[in-house]
Amino acid sequence: ILGDKHGNVIHLGERECSLQRKHQKIVEEAPSASVSAALRDEMGALAVKFAQKIGYFSAGTIEYIMDEDGSYYFMEMNTRIQVEHPVTEMITGVDLVEWQIKVALGEILTLSQTDVKIQGWAIECRVNTEDPQNRFSPQTGFIDTIHFPQDPTIRIETGVVSGSVVTPYFDSMIAKIIVHGSSREDAIARTLNALNHFSLIGLKTTVPFCKAVLQHPDFVNATYTTRWVDQVYTPEMLENDDDELIGALAATIMYASEYLQLQGDIPAYENDALNVWVLNKRLNY
């Protein structure tokens, strides 16, 4: 929602944030495939009424939880810009941060509810330095190289570059990849393509997990729930046919390097950072 200091409040549709791990969102989309146009108007009107009742101004989010039968219940209000706000901006064309600043300065909200039009679909994938094959354990250290996809339909928000250090003192999210499409199917395809063109050498990320999610029937059919990671996801979903070959090749190279070093007066390999743990499948050799 957006509200000003003069009593004007509007809503900008909903976001679907059910795909979570450890009760924290990891893939978000807007609008929600579970919300009809009529239900959107109903839920939006209640959110606006709530904000007006308490005299709220600025950007904010009213959170609901929905039952399998379509019943929904108020959970909480987040009185701030949320991590996933870009998906709302991409489908409405409204700059929420800009309006938050304008409202704080006392300006009148010149947008009316009829000005808000939902165009297409948007998906956001959080890039966390975590190991999705090991209970999403955090990864810290140096980012050797990082590359983000580029396209007019892609929005990247990040604070890291090649050579950045990921420390244990902050949240593991290092970037967000947000993609817009003409429909949900188009947005899924474009997001998968964007993730395929993302690369990071040095640390594990949640990108392989996001790719698995976007291709899973539960996500494609929009039947996933907040319990999906706990009840459906398995680390084996991230394995691929090349794992065994890549693992064998890496082990062979390291074995040959150690063998040559032992057989002759050859200095040790200078890059001590060479790490077979970057492979999706663990190696024991």
Angle formed at CA 283 by CA 278 and CA 285, multiple of 5 degrees: 135
Show the beta-strand stretches assigned E in the chain.
2-3, 9-10, 16-21, 24-30, 58-59, 61-66, 72-78, 121-128, 130-131, 137-138, 141-142, 145-147, 154-158, 165-166, 173-181, 199-201
CB 104 within 8 A of CB 46: no
CB 203 within 8 A of CB 275: no
Rounded Cα–Cα distance for residues 15 and 21 (Å): 17
Report the DSSP beta bridge partners of residue 147: 199
Residue 235: partners with Cβ closer than 8 Å, 6 or more residues away: 132, 133, 134
Task: Kindly state the tokens that stand for 168.
Answer: 């244990």
Chain-centroid distance, C-alpha 262: 47
Q: What is the DSSP letter of 273?
A: T
The answer to whether 80 is a known catalytic residue is yes
Please tell me which residue in 15, 21, 40, 80 is annotated as part of the active site: 80
Dihedral Cα 201, 205, 210, 211, nearest 10 deg:
30
Angle formed at CA 101 by CA 96 and CA 105, multiple of 5 degrees: 140
Catalytic center residues = 80
